[in-house]
Amino acid sequence: MRNEASEALTEMKTTAENANTEANAILSSIKEETSERVNKEIDRIKEAAEKEIAQATKEFNNAIAAAQERKEQRHAELEAKYRPKEAELKERIGHARAMVEQETKAAETRKLAAQMESDAQQLLEESDRLTNGLARLEELKTSLLSSLPIPGLEIKDGEIYVDGVPFDRVNESVRVRLAIEVAKLRVGKLGLIAVDGLECMDSKTFAAFEKSAADSGLQFVVSRVSDGPLYVENREVA
């Protein structure tokens, strides 16, 4: 009885081991089959994903290229549309600047013209003032000359005449006499007259000067340039 039980137990254990071995074999087979299917599925998925990525990349590049082409086309359209306007605007701006510059120059010219007109007016007023002053001086000179107590001297139309002859035509002796007469009027109480540069007179004219000086009753200090050394001479003319 015990032997039978033992044999039955042994048989059961063997059966269990065989079942376990078979189960392990089946499990291993299932694992291999599953792994192969999984790998195939993964490969299929990877291949599909790569195709989709490639397609997406292609579509993306195409989209970028199309967008770039539309951008360039739009840029060309805008260039064609606005370049003429830009050129026209630049031309108008240049014209406006030229007008502003011209107006500025015109304003400066008007300002300069106004200043010049003002200066000219001032010069005209100054000229009139000087002209009037010269006229008054001429009148004063004429009046003074007319009142000089010099025999034979008179003023006609602003010109000096001596014994009816214009002053620039009278001889040297007459001019010397007139010079002495004028000096007598300016000599004052001292009675002394200094005369320089008489080397320009010839001997005849100098003799006439000496006589007129002697007749005047005044004392004269006379200087003349000569070739000899410096000397002082006291002369009395009878």
Q: CA distances (Å), 203 to each of 173, 193, 225, in order?
A: 11, 21, 14
- Which has more pLDDT, 99 or 30? 99
| Angstrom distance (rounded) from CA 22 to CA 17 | 8
Burial of 207 (0-12, 13-18, 19+ CB in 10 A): middle
- Which has more pLDDT, 238 or 201? 201
Q: Which two tokens stand for residue 19?
A: 């079942």
- What is the band of 6 on the pLDDT scale with cuts at 50, 70, 90? low
pLDDT tens digits along 103-152? 778 778 788 778 888 887 888 888 888 888 777 777 766 666 666 667 77
pLDDT tens digits along 48-76? 778 888 888 888 888 888 888 888 888 77
The enclosing H or E element of 154 equals strand 153-156
DSSP 168: G
Asked whether residue 179 carries a pLDDT value surpassing 70, the answer given is yes
Question: Which residues, at least 6 apart from 183, have a Cβ–Cβ distance to it below 8 Å?
Answer: 193, 216, 218
> Tell me, what's the pLDDT at 76?
79
pLDDT tens digits along 149-172? 677 777 777 677 878 888 788 877
Asked whether residue 23 carries a pLDDT value surpassing 80, the answer given is no
The enclosing H or E element of 160 equals strand 159-162
pTM of the model: 0.34
| Angstrom distance (rounded) from CA 65 to CA 227 | 116
> Tell me, what's the pLDDT at 19?
67
